[in-house]
Amino acid sequence: MKKHIIIVGGGFAGINLIKILKNDNRFIITLVDRNNYHFFPPLIYQVATSFIQASNISYPFRRLFSKYKNVNFHMGSLLNVDSENNVIETDTGNLKYDYLVLALGTESNFFGMENVQKYALPMKNIEEALYLRNHMLLNLEEAARNKDVKTAERLQNVVIAGGGPTGVELAGMFAEMGKYIAEKEYPEIKLSLSSLYLIDALPTLLSPMSKMAQQTSYETLKELGVKILLNVSVKDYVDHQVLLSDGTVINTETLIWTSGVIGREVPGILKEKIGKGRRILVDEYNRVEENGTVYALGDISLQLTDQSFTNGHPQLAQTAIQQAKNLGKNLIRLQEGKELIPFAYHDKGSMAIISKFNAVVDLPKFSFKGFSAWLTWLFIHIIPLVGFRSKVRLSLDWFRLFITNNPSIRLILYPKRNTTKQQ
């Protein structure tokens, strides 16, 4: 009998698992996701800063699966896992499975700060990125009309909390936006009143990367005018004031939160199976329970069996992709009665873009920076995009933007709902 595999989450892990098992008539696969599209998180900050269209990094699931004979799509949000009866409950119906793969990823971690959670701007998905884009553009328009100095400062100040790759890339992009665009298109704004802050509780930016990457990012952003505050953390966000641990107060209407993530909550998973960062504890085969039928992949999983990563694997795209490929092979081996292959992570390095023509790349054996690193960054981020047209579109957009320094998609767009219902 064909085995029904339900995959919850259409990110890197879910998509790559489907690619391994596609058109294998021993399996029927159902992907469950609350969105009807796959998107590419590493480039979401470029959507938020108006440099690329959301459609450049997004692709509809149903179109992606149209040539896969054994793959279905179910749009819905996971509500509960009933592992005793092999059923998941979603807000759009219940589904029965033979194998369940949880690949929901993470959400922003606000570390219990209610005001920060309520008023800060996270950037974990397309909707949040578009909201941030609108927020920034609306603030610029209001600042252009405003004559009061204190109000103008508050509108123009931007605080980015989190000095990891996303925070660094976002800071560089906003700094260059001010340099190339704001001065030309917003002549009413006094840019001397604007400040861009990058804040991190650690002593360095890009803390997981090499010293070369840390120093290069710090020096480059400083040259671009970014005010970098290290060894200090956000404690609260009250009345448009960011309160820092050292007593500093920054007036701003824009606190962008890239400071940490936590695993998405999965009701039905036993508490003793939840580890640090609300990640689901798994064995060397990514099983939640030995001989069980529930698996977890990617950012939401915490595997402590890999001797090279005893505290768990990094929450990176490569981890999710490699785990998905390994699980796909193991599900096939289960059907064939073969011994399973334990997962072992192969570190392929990390990278971050800092500014135009300047990036840092850490490979397992060496690191490099500058224009060659920037080209590497572009190439690596084009390859995983789903769909040939997406790759071409993004390549052409990047080429135009880097030549002209002038993205043309700074449109303030938001949906309008008709509140009058038909009788």
Fold of 3-108+261-335: FAD/NAD(P)-binding domain (3.50.50)
Tokens standing for 419? 């509140």
Q: What is the pTM of this model?
A: 0.91
> What average pLDDT does the segment 221-226 reach?
95
What are the two backbone dihedrals, phi and then psi, of residue 34, each rounded to the nearest 5 degrees? -75, -20
> What average pLDDT does the segment 175-197 reach?
82
- Listed in order, the ranges of the chain carrying CATH 3.50.50.100 are 114-259
Q: Is the pLDDT of residue 250 over 90?
A: yes
The CATH architecture to which 114-259 belongs is 3-Layer(bba) Sandwich (3.50)
At 235, is the pLDDT very low, low, confident or very high (cuts 50, 70, 90)?
A: very high
How far, rounded to the nearest angstrom, does the alpha carbon of residue 22 sit from its chain's CA centroid? 26
- Percent helix, strand, coil in the chain, to 5, is 35, 25, 40
Q: Is the pLDDT of residue 80 over 80?
A: yes
Q: Which of the two residues, 363 and 391, has the higher pLDDT score?
A: 363
Residue 186: count of CB within 10 angstroms of its CB: 16
pLDDT in tens, 56-74: 889 999 999 999 999 999 9
Three-class secondary structure of residue 13 per DSSP: helix
At 107, is the pLDDT very low, low, confident or very high (cuts 50, 70, 90)?
A: very high
Three-class secondary structure of residue 70 per DSSP: coil
Query: Which of 109-118, 296-305, 386-395 is predicted least confidently?
Result: 386-395
In the prediction, which pLDDT does 408 show? 59
- Listed in order, the ranges of the chain carrying CATH 3.50.50.60 are 3-108+261-335
Tokens standing for 173? 């992009």
Strands 158-161 and 294-296 come out as unpaired
pLDDT in tens, 25-35: 999 999 999 99
Q: Is the pLDDT of residue 397 over 70?
A: yes
Q: Which residues contact 154 (CB under 8 A, 6 or more apart)?
A: 240, 251, 252, 253
